[in-house]
A = this chain, B = another copy of it.
Amino acid sequence: MLKVLKFGGTSVGTLDRIKNVAQIIKKIKDEGHDVIAVVSAMSGETNKLIEYAESFSKTPLESEMDMLLSSGERVTSALLSIALNEIGYKATSMSGREAGIVTDNSHTKARIEHIDTTNMKNAINEGKIIIVAGFQGVTEQSRVTTLGRGGSDLTAVAIAGAIHADVCEIYTDVDGIYTTDPRIEPKAKKLDKISYDEMLELASLGAKVLQNRSVEMAKKLNVNLVSRSSFTPEIEGTLITKEENIMEKPLVSGIALDKNQVRVGMYGVTDKPGIAANIFTALADANINVDMIVQTVGVDGKTDLDFTIPKTDWEICKKMMTKFEEQSENIDYNEKICKVSIVGVGMKSHTGVASKAFAALANENINIRIISTSEIKISMIIEEKYAELAVRALHEAYDLDK
């Protein structure tokens, strides 16, 4: 098999950990696989360089930031290659440019346009292990670019797609995707497999491990993604793949919790056509990411609007809403809420999934303020103080600990 592995900043955070990564790669190579490893900068390095730059300028040139920040991954790739050669394995580091990664010109947040795999294929044919400096590419004019947050994951997924690798393993300090956050529910179970769409909906469970941007790209390029740990490489991890590859489709795969939402309530809004559209267009124009929306028809031609926004957008939203004060009786904000979601591809073909959730929460006397559903997800807004209780109740209701 051809395996693309990706090791994040924590996995290569010290010289000892780099040696550990060399052992992981050695084992995979010994099993007869070809290996392309993508590495991040040693943890702390990128932040140090950002601090350096900010000591000179609040708005450093983005093309220079790319020159600056791309150096950290080059260091790690060379060190890991040296470690592998030392234990008798032919390895070669490659910069993003050498790996053939061509991006657009959007410095600090470039998008990969195409990958010329010639160099990598030649090295693989020579039996070499390739260590690619993640997070970076070059423009058509051969100027270095970086891919933004989570960029090394993107490098790995894009390479796996371009070179038709059998699997792309993302190594972090977490050994896979769990049915829910184990810090909330110790009975949470690691999932063997999960579909791309479920993973995207369970973002809060995997955000630390896998960013949505990488999962989306894996889905688009049809890359089998594995989330596993470089600290416990003997544990198998979770395969994120297309739905067709999952034979037994679970009703519910996991319970996600999101505490970073604010509920905005607009009461007694004059119920005229277009009023909701006006409000949400204005919010979209301000780049505020509205999540859940509920509109209830009230009495006397008035209506109530309830919606949630990320806490980070709260201040801008408040400022914006002053425009609509005259059109409603009252606007209030509640940050003491949270969103609990149930995710599972099996929902599509089963009924009664939602009612089981409502019953489980009612059983604990938890009031649901907003409900929204999609094909594979049911989300509920509840009071924040019930967050953990709700997660545990739902986890049990769907037998996720079994």
Contacts and interface: CB of A to CB of B under 8 A. Distances in A.
Secondary structure class of chain A's binding surface, majority of residues: helix
Contact of A64 (B53, B65, B93): B93
Interface in A28-62: 49, 52-53, 55-57, 60-61
Nearest to A133: B67
A77 B67 contact: yes
Nearest to A15: B55
Nearest to A81: B64
A65 B93 CA distance: 10
A64 B52 contact: no
A259 B94 CA distance: 45
Given A64-B93, A75-B49, A77-B67, A15 B56 contact: yes
Given A55-B15, A92-B63, A142-B98, A78 B68 contact: yes
Contacts of A49: 75
A79 interface: yes
B71 A74 contact: yes
A141 to B, nearest CB: 10
How many chain copies? 2
B52 A15 contact: yes
B67 A53 contact: no
Interface string A72-98: 101101110111011000001101011
A97 B52 CA distance: 24
Given A85-B60, A98-B143, A78 B65 contact: yes
Interface string A348-392: 000000000000000000000000000000000000000000000
B52 A81 contact: no
A137 B227 CA distance: 38
Interface residues of A, number: 37
A68 B57 contact: no
A81 B61 CA distance: 9
Contacts of A65: 78, 82
A164 interface: no
Contacts of A98: 142-143
Given A63-B92, A75-B49, A92-B63, A56 B82 contact: yes
Interface in A127-141: none
Given A15-B56, A52-B15, A81-B61, A71 B68 contact: no
A64 B79 CA distance: 8
A67 B143 CA distance: 17
Contacts of A190: none
A362 B65 CA distance: 64
B74 A57 contact: no
A19 interface: yes
Q: Which 10 A-B pairs have the closest CB atoms?
A: A68-B78, A67-B78, A57-B86, A71-B71, A60-B82, A56-B83, A64-B78, A56-B82, A64-B81, A67-B93
Interface of A: 15, 18-19, 49, 52-53, 55-57, 60-61, 63-65, 67-68, 70-72, 74-75, 77-79, 81-83, 85-86, 92-93, 95, 97-98, 142-144
24 contacts: A18-B56, A52-B75, A52-B79, A53-B78, A53-B79, A56-B83, A60-B82, A60-B85, A61-B81, A64-B81, A64-B85, A64-B92, A65-B78, A65-B82, A67-B74, A67-B77, A67-B78, A67-B93, A68-B75, A68-B78, A71-B72, A71-B74, A74-B74, A95-B144
